[in-house]
């Protein structure tokens, strides 16, 4: 496979026709058609469905499209890093960060990283898995720092463990559910939880299934941002389940507390999630090192907030 063939395939998929793809690539339709036919001949598979209304990718074409985007983005990263070494422009690093870590640890990590690599253009996402996994899959994000669910495909993603933390059920101050001593007493409550299609079964098992309990799906709201989750807990009076370090975050700490339940909740591992086959850039490795150094510093700190956080975490490196 050649780069110009992959570029033609991507342009066809993104623009919906060979004519539009040719215009986007500043080539003739004949040149794009020839390039795609050569790609099909090399792979000994049809990649396109040609019909009276135009052309679109078939199943094989969509499989190759996913890899083609990753290959071209990896090459773009290489060119970006080399250009930065030549002093032409700053390289870019895109990182997804789970919300509790973004509030408790990320400022220290970014300060340290900026001291070491001030020339890097840093882009940060609130890395809930529903947001991060598609960006990792498409090559738009270098890596994410998030929960390592066993349901994340090991064939598609590489996971490097960093730490484990407890998970708790929590509610706003004054909520009547705070008097409950068992999960069974909470099955008629409304809940707001973050999950993705990949992690739903594992989250439900950790919270209810392992205790022999079940809950009606209508009782669960899935929130894909911390703003939505916190507003449902604080203003709508819903219960939630998640990392204990969330209780140290600014939006939660003064208003939310964990329930004292007789059931023990599963702990959760967290780590670096990247796409299989993706090679970390020097900037990415530097950022990860800054993260590990900041975690170790928190564990040695005498500041009350740092101590509270470090007591919740067990480091795995």
Q: Where are the domains of the chain?
A: 3-81, 90-164+269-315, 167-266
d(CA 245, CA 259): 14
Which two tokens mark 3?
């780069």
Q: Do residues 223 and 194 lie in contact, with contact meaning Cβ atoms separated by under 8 Å?
A: yes
157: helix, strand or coil? strand
Q: Which of 7, 287, 274 is nearest to 141 (CA)?
A: 274
* CATH, range 3-81: 1.10.10.10
Q: Which fold has domain 90-164+269-315?
A: D-Maltodextrin-Binding Protein; domain 2 (3.40.190)
pLDDT in 10s for each residue of the chain, 317 residues: 888 998 888 888 888 888 888 888 888 989 988 999 899 899 998 998 877 667 889 999 888 988 888 888 777 777 766 776 676 555 789 999 999 999 999 999 999 999 999 988 899 998 778 788 888 887 889 999 999 988 888 888 999 999 999 999 999 999 999 999 999 999 999 999 988 888 888 889 989 999 999 998 899 999 988 889 999 999 999 999 999 999 999 889 889 999 999 999 989 999 999 988 777 888 899 999 999 999 999 999 999 999 999 999 999 99
The two domains 3-81 and 90-164+269-315 share their CATH topology (first three levels equal):
no
Q: Are strands 240-243 and 220-222 parallel, antiparallel or unpaired?
A: unpaired
pTM of the model: 0.71
- For domain 167-266, the CATH class is alpha beta
Q: Do residues 72 and 7 lie in contact, with contact meaning Cβ atoms separated by under 8 Å?
A: yes
Complete DSSP assignment for 88-137: SS--EEEEEE-HHHHHHTHHHHHHHHHHH-TTSEEEEEE--HHHHHHHHH
Tally of residues, the chain: 317
């Amino acid at each position: 496979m050649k780069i110009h063939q992959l570029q033609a395939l991507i342009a066809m998929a993104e623009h919906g026709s060979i004519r539009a793809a040719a215009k986007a690539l500043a080539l003739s339709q004949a040149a794009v058609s020839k390039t795609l036919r050569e790609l099909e001949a090399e792979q000994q598979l049809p990649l396109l469905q040609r019909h009276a209304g135009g052309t679109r990718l078939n199943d094989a074409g969509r499989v190759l499209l996913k890899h083609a985007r990753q290959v071209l983005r990896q090459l773009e990263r290489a060119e970006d890093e080399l250009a930065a070494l030549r002093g032409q422009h700053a390289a870019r690093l895109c990182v997804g960060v789970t919300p509790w870590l973004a509030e408790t640890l990320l400022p220290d990590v970014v300060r340290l990283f900026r001291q070491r690599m001030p020339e890097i253009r840093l882009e940060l996402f609130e890395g809930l898995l529903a947001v991060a996994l598609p960006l990792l899959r498409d090559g738009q994000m270098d890596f994410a720092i998030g929960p390592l669910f066993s349901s994340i495909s090991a064939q598609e993603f590489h996971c490097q463990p960093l730490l484990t933390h407890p998970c708790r059920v929590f509610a706003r101050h004054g909520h009547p559910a705070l008097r409950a001593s068992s999960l069974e007493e909470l099955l008629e409550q409304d809940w707001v939880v973050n999950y993705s299609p990949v992690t739903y079964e594992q989250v439900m098992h950790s919270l209810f299934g392992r205790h022999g309990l079940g809950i009606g799906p209508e009782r669960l709201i899935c929130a894909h941002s911390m703003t939505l989750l916190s507003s449902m807990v604080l203003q709508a009076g819903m219960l939630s389940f998640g990392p204990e370090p969330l209780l140290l975050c600014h939006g939660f700490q003064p208003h939310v507390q964990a329930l004292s339940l007789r059931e023990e909740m599963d702990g959760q591992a967290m780590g670096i999630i990247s796409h299989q086959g993706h090679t970390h850039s020097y900037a990415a490795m530097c950022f990860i090192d800054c993260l590990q150094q900041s975690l170790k510093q928190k564990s040695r700190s005498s500041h009350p907030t740092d101590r509270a956080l470090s007591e919740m975490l067990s480091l795995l490196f």
